[in-house]
Structures are given as structure tokens and as C-alpha cells.
Structure 1
Amino acid sequence: MQADTILDTHLHLVDRDRLDYPWLADAPPLQHDWPLEAYATQARQLGIGSALFMEVDVAEPRIEDEITWVEELAASQVFPIRGIIASGRPEAGDFPAYLDRLADRPLVKGIRRVLHTMPDETSQGALFRENVARMAGPDLPFDLCVLARQLPLAIELVDATPDVRFVLDHCGVPDIAGDAWDDWARNIEEIARRPNVSCKVSGVVAYGGDGWTLDRLARWVGHVTECFGPQRLCWGGDWPVCTLGGGLPTWVASTRAMVADWSAADRARLFSGTAEEIWKV
């Protein structure tokens, strides 16, 4: 039986000679280069056929340099990069001009602003919401990168900008190791009621603690599946962060095991179809 080919919607790449990554100073296990060549070798072995690059929270002055770098990587054809989810600063007054410049960069398919390291009020600002709303014009989806406790803030942002399409990263970053289920599960159910929100099944192997098991992960992934349905789920590898929870081969194998009894159509949605619709790739 042939395994489903995967479109990885969450690929990070790091080149410290080319770009600046201030946050790496606080993440020693990840503090080295993560080149496309290393990812490509594993990806091909695992049935990952293509990927979307996910911004890596570079220093703010280097955001557009990161886009240029990934455009070059895509042109190199080392591995099929079908799009870029670029970094953005909706809280900034020059965000509309940034959106205008992105219109000339067709590989950019979406935008993310890392919010889990920012003050909670960042996403509540009027300018932030006004600028996120502007993304409806070019139809650029916005990736929601929030902690589980910030899910109510994400819901507020979605409700304030109903014409924008959103993707909730990493199943809402649940504290699986701490078994912090109740609030997370309730908020996942609530945000899933918004039809313009999809969910990315990614990241969870890094949240399960050293002793995570397949059954343990399946409980959390099962809940987002029940709330969103396969029609609004996509898959992300979250390389290299997934190396904190066993690595890309472990995460791919775990996902395939969790969805083994899904219909072929539902697996195809998770592994590629939903992503192709969201980011138009």
C-alpha cells in the first residue's frame, strides 16, 4: 500500500550567516543551522513531497531578507518549496505598504505574527486588527501562533476580522505534558465554530514531554479532528522544532498511525488537500 504524499505546511530553515535570529539564544538545542539539504533528505525518505516555508521570527529588519533567501532556495530546486508564509508586523503603521510589496512576490502565500512571545494586548490593538483585516483583500491567510491560554484572544481576533482566513498553528499549543486539558479543549471547540478558521496538526510531539506515547498524543489530535473535521485540518512537520520530541520520522510515523483508519479522502485532505485550498498552491 502506497503512503499518502505529504505537503508539509510548516518548514523552518535557519542560516545564521545569512540572517539574524535573536530568539535562538534562549533555545540551545536549536541553536545551529538547519539547512534545506538536511530536511530534503529526511523528507524524501518519509513521503513528504513538498513544503511551505514558515517564517522563523528573524530580527525585524531582516524580514524581507528572509523572503528573498527562501525565494532563492525555491529556485535552486533542492526541494520543492511551494510557498512562503512570511513574517509580518500588523501592529506597525507601515504594514499596508508591506502588503503592497508582497503583491510583487508571488511565492508569499500567507503571513504569521508570532504572538505567544508578545504581550497579550498586541492582538487586541485597533491598528493590529485593522491591518489583519487588510489581508482579506489579497486573500492572504493569517497563521495564529498563540499559547493555549491565549486561545480566547485568538477567538477575539477572528471575530474582529471575519473576512480573513486563519490557520491555528500547532493545535493551539496544548500543554500535553501537564495534561492541561479542560480549558484548551473548550477553547478549541469554541474557535472551531468559526468557519474561517482551520487547524494545523503540528508541533504536538514537542509538547508531550519525554515520556509521550502515541495514545497520549492521539487524545489531543482526536479532539481537534472532532472539532474541525478533516476538511479543515492540515499537517505540519515543524522541523526542526519537532527534533525536541523525537524528530521528523517519529512525527510522520505517529501521524500516519493516528489516521490509519481514516478514509483515503480524509487522509488526503489532512496531508495535502486542505493546504492546497488554504494557500492556493
Structure 2
Amino acid sequence: MSKRIDSHQHFWKFDPVRDSWIDETMQEIQRDFLPEDLQPLLNANQFEGCVAVQASQSEEETHFLLDLASKNDFIKGVVGWVDLRNENIEERLSFFSNKKKLKGFRHVVQGEPDDFMYGAAFRRGIEALKPFNYTYDILIFERQLPAALSLVKDFPDQKFVIDHIAKPNIKSGSIDLWKSGIEEIAKHENVWCKISGMVTEADWKNWKPEDLKPYLDVIFENFSTDKLMYGSDWPVVNVASDYHEVVKTLEDYISKFSIGDQNKIWFENANEFYNLNG
């Protein structure tokens, strides 16, 4: 068994006001999720570590994740939050720059207006990341792919990764618009993609692996095994599946791939993108 890294999961102490996105349809995750909840799942599925990704928009969130990472060796990296539109963004990034496990940042752009990524202040924040070698996770719905494409074109030296394959509407089976957006954005050398968050875009109660296959086919055709990395999206995944089931779904899909290519998806690409050893 090769090494494995879960490139995308979350921790939180549940707060119904701050975490209002976790509504009554998601009762399974209306509670705390902390490292002691995740570690047994990682061990049972042969993962040696994970990357903890921000779920709320505050610097407190970044400090919370870094604190957990400092106490748990299996948390190999943190994707935090900072206000990229802050006119003092360089100062904030400099403040965080001695935190070795902080690898990059994310903003919940899926909750913003569709023109958010065109904003001058946001783009100045993106520009500030590269001198610190920080990555940026792109969290969007498929309709925001054109704005994401503009962003990655304008910052060719910045490393980007698309979370949750840009959230196509798997439940409805619609694919064409999303596919054309993926085909364009995947042409850019600075863009990676996470195989994550798919089951929560499918029919939560009735999805089957074959529902995901057309979407997996598209990302593998366009990003290749050099630019894809696995992420569980735990604990959000629990509303539609469980940790083991989503791992097995990808294991089955890539079972015919060479061991070298499988290793890239499970470990090497996440390691390279987030510089988890450095």
C-alpha cells in the first residue's frame, strides 16, 4: 500500500450561528468534529495524514486549525482564511509566514456574487500570495468557472487548486456547461483539481458510483493523473455517504491505473502542491 494523504477535510466546534450553512437537512454534521474523530478513519483507510481546510471566514479559524495541527502530527498542512481584500494583506501574510504548516488560503467564493473574483481588492490579495509561496483553493459552483478561468489566466505563477471539481450538478445529471468550463481551465499549468465533494452534489440518499463516473471521466481526461488529488471532504461527506465509501469509490475507479498514477492521486500531487514536506 502506497502512502495516502487526504487533501481536503474540515474540523469545527459546531456553532449554529456561525455555521448556519449546516442547516436542518444536514443534521448528521450539526456537532463538533475534531482530530480524535478523524484519526481512526484515516488509520482504517491507510491514510498517513490530511490537509485541514477552512470552513468559516475568520482569522480565528486559521488560528484554530493551526493549533490543532501543532498538536496532531497527522495534520500535515492547513488551508486557512485571511481577508484577501484587506489593504494590509501583505502585513497579514507576513504575520502568518512563520507558521510552517500553513500552506495556503481559501475564501468561500461559492457564497459570493458571481463577479467576486473580478474584484480589484480580491485580485490584489491573490497577487500577494506568491512571494510567500502560498497556494489558493478555488471553491466555486460551476457557473463561476468563467470568473475562475479569468483569475488563473491573470496570475499564471500562482498555484491554484479547484475544490470539489467546481461543484457540477451531479444530481440532475447535467454536464455540458461544466465540462466546457473544466476543459478550458485545465489547460492552465498552474491549476490542479481535487477529487472531492462529489457525493454531496449527487442525490444524497440514492447516488451510485456510476452517477459519478461521467464527471470523473472529464476531470481525468483534462487534468490527467499529474494534477488530481484525493480529498474526502469529511465531515461534510457524512450527509450523503461515509469516509470509507468515498475512498472505495475512487479506489474502484482508478484500480486499472498504474501504481505510479495511483500514487500521484493518493499522495504525490497533494504533497507537491502543498509542499507538505517543506
Q: 1:184 aligns with which of 178, 182, 207?
A: 178
- Contact kept in structure 1, 2:138 and 2:160, CA below 8 Å: yes
**Displacement of 1:39 after TM fit?**
1.1
Answer yes or no: is 1:225 the counterpart of 2:225.
no
Aligned length: 273
- Contact kept in structure 2, 1:53 and 1:83, CA below 8 Å: yes
Match of 2:154 in 1: 160
Q: Quick one: structure 1 residues 243 and 28, their matched pair in 2 at CA, closer, same or farther if it must change by over 3 Å?
A: closer
Identity %: 25
TM-score of the two chains, using structure 2 as the length reference: 0.93
Listed as ranges, the matches of 1:2-21 within 5 Å are 2=1, 4-16=2-14, 20-21=18-19
Letter aligned with residue 68 of structure 2: L
TM-score of the two chains, using structure 1 as the length reference: 0.92
Match of 1:257 in 2: 252
Listed as ranges, the matches of 1:46-65 within 5 Å are 46-58=45-57, 60=58, 63=59, 65=60
For structure 1, the residue ranges without an aligned partner over 5 or more in a row are none
How large is the Cα RMSD of the aligned pairs?
A: 1.7
- Contact kept in structure 2, 1:207 and 1:245, CA below 8 Å: no
**Displacement of 1:6 after TM fit?**
1.7
- Contact kept in structure 2, 1:129 and 1:160, CA below 8 Å: no
**Displacement of 1:172 after TM fit?**
1.1
Which has the higher mean CA deviation after the structures are superposed, 195-204 or 119-128? 119-128
SS at match of 1:239: coil
Q: 1:214 aligns with which of 203, 209, 216?
A: 209
Q: Quick one: structure 1 residues 237 and 192, their matched pair in 2 at CA, closer, same or farther if it must change by over 3 Å?
A: same
Letter aligned with residue 246 of structure 2: W
SS at match of 1:206: helix
Deviations along 1:25-51, one digit per CA (max 9) or x if unpaired, are 576422211121111111111111100
Match of 2:275 in 1: 280
Listed as ranges, the matches of 1:133-152 within 5 Å are 133-152=127-146
Give distance in 2, aligned partners of 1:148 and 1:26. Answer: 25
**Displacement of 1:148 after TM fit?**
0.6
**Displacement of 1:94 after TM fit?**
2.6
Deviations along 1:107-135, one digit per CA (max 9) or x if unpaired, are 10011111000112221111211220111
Letter aligned with residue 184 of structure 1: W
Answer yes or no: is 1:44 the counterpart of 2:43.
yes
**Displacement of 1:145 after TM fit?**
0.3
Give distance in 2, aligned partners of 1:233 and 1:28. Answer: 28
- Contact kept in structure 2, 1:111 and 1:141, CA below 8 Å: yes
- Contact kept in structure 2, 1:91 and 1:122, CA below 8 Å: no
Give distance in 1, aligned partners of 2:118 and 2:96. Answer: 24
Answer yes or no: is 1:243 the counterpart of 2:238.
yes
**Displacement of 1:211 after TM fit?**
2.0
Moved over 3 A (4+): 19-28
